[in-house]
Amino acid sequence: LAEHHRVIALDRPGYGYSERPRDRLWTAGAQAAFLHRTLEALRVENPIVVGHSWGSIVATAYGLHVPGAAGGFVLLSGYYFPTRRLDAWVAAAPAIPLVGDVMRYTVSPFVGDLIAPKVIRKVFEPGAVPRRFAKRFPVGLSLRPWQLRASAEDSAFMVPAASAMQDRYGELEMPVAILTGSDDRIVTPARQSIRLHHAVPTSEITVVPGLGHMMHYGAHDEIMAAVTRMAGRIARPAGRSEPLPGAEMVSAG
């Protein structure tokens, strides 16, 4: 993508080496506002926003809260409609005030280190974990207390975010490409991606057979094709025969 477009990869607040200030609740709407301010500061116009998993929640919130700012969205393995998620509430425990602070600096890193191999296998199932990912993924980085807080807060806000937005998806008027693995063990395609496709008139959907949640490691061609089609639609507005300069791609993580 970077050979033909400007590509910007953003760490959501609290992930990687980014900060997550404690002066606000980092809901999907707050993260969408952060994304909007960042793109404005970078003078990015009409971007194609690519979001995976929780990043797809931020992307859809961006489309609803700042209508017309994005040229389109590519949503991968997303969660869009509320369901009963006991795992999300368990994962949210480190975000509880006081109790969570103690957990993040004591038991949570040790428990996280123990279960990390199982969690990683599950997000890639039914496929195998790519050797490069297994070798290079920084488990220790993801278990730092401040990143544990970010992850726990996201878990707590996941279902409420979907609940708040589920009746508004029809308001998305820009192109939306929805991609999902047919065998996703984290979010059920029929309840999430396929249902979103029916709710968004401007959407297209690609279900990749045999892939799990981490589809961006196994569906490069499908993702590239979706982005390329969308860039072409954005670059050739109605009545224009020549394309505009290359579209800008923004990954929301």
**DSSP letter string, 69-82:** S-SEEEEES---S-
Q: Is the pTM of this model over 0.85?
A: yes
Residue 125 included in any domain:
no
Domain total of the chain: 1
Residue 48 included in any domain:
yes
The total of other beta-carbon atoms located within 10 Å of residue 236's CB is 13
Residue 137 included in any domain:
no
Mean pLDDT of 101-125: 93
Q: Which helix (H) or strand (E) holds 147?
A: helix 145-165
Residue 103 included in any domain:
no
Nearest 10 degrees: Cα torsion 184, 34, 12, 158: -40
| CATH number for the domain that contains residue 213 | 3.40.50.1820
Identify the band that residue 118 occupies on the pLDDT scale cut at 50, 70 and 90: very high
Mean pLDDT of 35-63: 95
Residue 147 included in any domain:
no
Q: Which tokens in the block code for residue 175?
A: 């192109």
**Domain hosting residue 183, numbered range:** 6-84+157-251
- Does position 244 have pLDDT exceeding 50, yes or no? no
Radius of gyration of the chain (CA): 18
> What residues does 72 pair with on adjacent strands?
48
Residue 97 included in any domain:
no
Residue 127 included in any domain:
no
Mean pLDDT of 183-196: 96
Share the mean pLDDT of the chain.
90
Model pLDDT, residue 4: 84
Identify the band that residue 235 occupies on the pLDDT scale cut at 50, 70 and 90: low
Asked whether 210 and 183 are in contact (CB, 8 A), the reply is: yes
- CA nearest to 211, candidates 177, 187, 175, 176: 187
